[in-house]
Amino acid sequence: MNEFLLLFRRDYKTREVQPSPEQLNEHLQHWQQWFGKLAEQGKLARKIQRWDGLGRVMTRGESATDGPYAEIKESIGGMIIINAESYQQAEDIARECPIFELNGTVEIRMGL
């Protein structure tokens, strides 16, 4: 059994593809359901944690600029740590992640 880091990213910048309030509403409900399921199934290695959405981004040692939303097209939406036997299994778990509804990506990194 290993720990796997799942990083969620999606495009927050391109105007036309941003979700409407209604879509966000549903999207949020799907996240709640998915996280709930993971917790129930004991797949979370670490409790779901809030990460500040604004944050900072530093470039070449330059003073930090306002958060991911300001500069990067694909920003980190969040991250969780799960337990899984293998990358294959981690993928199977990640497959149901709601980020895909908004054309986002999931990056999976095994803990060493």
Partner 1 sequence: MGEKELLPNLFRAEYQKIVSVLIHLFGIHHIEVAEDIVSDTFLSAAELWVSGGIPDNPEAWLFTVARNKTRNYLKRHAHFEQKLVAELRNKQVFTEEVEIDLSVKNIADSQLAMIFTVCDPVISSDAQVSLALNLLCGFGVTEIAEAFLTNKEVIYKRINRAKDKLKAHNIRIEQPSLPELESRLGNVLKTLYLLFSEGYYSVCQDAVVRKDMCAEAMRLTYLLTEQEATAKPEVFALLALMCFHSSRFDARVSEEGEAILYAEQDEELWNAELISAGEHFLNKAAAGDLLSKYHLEAAIAYWHTKKADTPLKWQHILDLYEHLLSVDYSPIIALNGVYALYKVSGAAIAITAAEKLSLLKNHFYHSLLGTLYKATDREKAMTHFQTALSLANTEAERKIMLKHIGELHAA
The single residue among 35, 72, 87, 89 that binds partner 1, judged by CB under 8 A, is 35
The single residue among 41, 46, 48, 65 that binds partner 1, judged by CB under 8 A, is 48
Give the binding range for partner 1 (CB under 8 A) out of 28-36, 57-65, 83-91, 103-111. Answer: 28-36
Residue 9 CA to residue 108 CA, distance in Å, equals 11
- The CA-CA-CA angle for residues 52, 7, 42, to 5°, reads 95
Residue 23 CA to residue 109 CA, distance in Å, equals 29
41 binds partner 1 (CB under 8 A): no
39 binds partner 1 (CB under 8 A): yes
21 binds partner 1 (CB under 8 A): yes
106: which residues sit within 8 A by CB, 6+ positions away? 6, 7, 8, 9, 94, 97, 99, 100
Give the binding range for partner 1 (CB under 8 A) out of 24-32, 57-65, 87-95, 104-112. Answer: 24-32
Q: Tell me how far apart the terminal alpha carbons of the chain are, to the nearest angstrom.
A: 11
Q: Give the interface with partner 1 as residue ranges (CB under 8 A).
A: 12, 16, 18-29, 31-32, 35-36, 39, 48-51, 53, 69, 77-78
